[in-house]
Amino acid sequence: MTDEEILRLREAAREMEQQNDGKMNSRNGEYGLQEGIPASLVSPDEVLTAGCGSFVEKILFSDQIAIRLPEDFEEFSPEEIAEIYLLGNRPDMVFGKRSPRFSAGFHHTQEMIPDAYMGDFSRIARLMLEQAGPGVRILSEKIRETDRHTVSALELVSHTITDTYYNLMFFASLEERVLIGFINFDYEFLEELRPAAREIMESFRFTDEESGTGAFGEVEER
């Protein structure tokens, strides 16, 4: 890998870090939350429904990618996204629900990184997040490689002054630009919602591949 290619990876990772900063400085502290309901007021039945309901496949970005999301996830309008993300790089699309607070979305960056280097992206993103301070704890690093595409991922816990969130972030090269996907929710619901979050990420695929093309392998898990 050349110095220029390493620089591009770092720039794309920095854009991801800036987006994460925007999330932490939003009005509600996480992706996809506008007038969110406090975790303490969410009923157990609502959490169970969020984690175990039916999933539907969404075909996105000019029919180039697909992902399965809970059927009660709503797509946020551009105005809602702009209101939620006061700082940093705003995602292109966000889907989610407000009770309990659970969301997923994508940001297609301008950083030109071919698929061949996406296996290195999570490592560089991880280093940048860990260097940002004690507010982020990496739980695992994952990768899925097929004949056509490489997708890497980070599982992490992020802290704000008042709240703690579980996050899954995954990275791929779409049109040779870095695509950042994210899934997150209040850490309080880790046991109930982590399986659904992982199922969402595992379902992500490029439409030039069949569904069930393989699971993410663990690079490292804590």
- The residue range of the domain holding 49 is 3-207
Give domain status of residue 219, yes or no: no
Closest Cα to residue 125, out of 181, 163, 86, 67? 181
Tens digits of per-residue pLDDT, 146-195?
Answer: 889 999 999 999 887 888 999 999 999 999 999 999 999 999 999 999 99
Residue 14: the pLDDT is: 57
Give me the helices (H) in the chain, please: 3-24, 44-52, 78-84, 118-131, 190-203
Q: Within the chain, how many helices (H) and strands (E) appear?
A: 5, 11
Q: Please name every residue paired with 183 in a beta bridge, in sequence order, or none if there are none.
A: 104, 168
Query: What's the Cα-to-Cα distance from 89 to each of 16, 19, 26, 103, 114, rounded to whole Å?
Result: 8, 5, 12, 17, 21
Look at residue 55 and tell me if it is in a domain. Answer: yes
Residue 126 lies in a domain: yes
Interval 119-147: pLDDT, tens? 888 888 888 887 776 678 899 999 999 88
* The overall pTM is greater than 0.85: no
Residue matched to tokens 């939350």: 33
Model pLDDT for residues 107-116, shown as the tens digit of each residue: 999 888 899 8
- The predicted pLDDT at position 57 comes to 95
Maximum distance among all Cα pairs of the chain, rounded to whole angstroms:
52
Domain CATH number, residue 166: 3.40.1000.10
Is residue 56 in a domain? Answer: yes
Number of structural domains found in the chain:
1
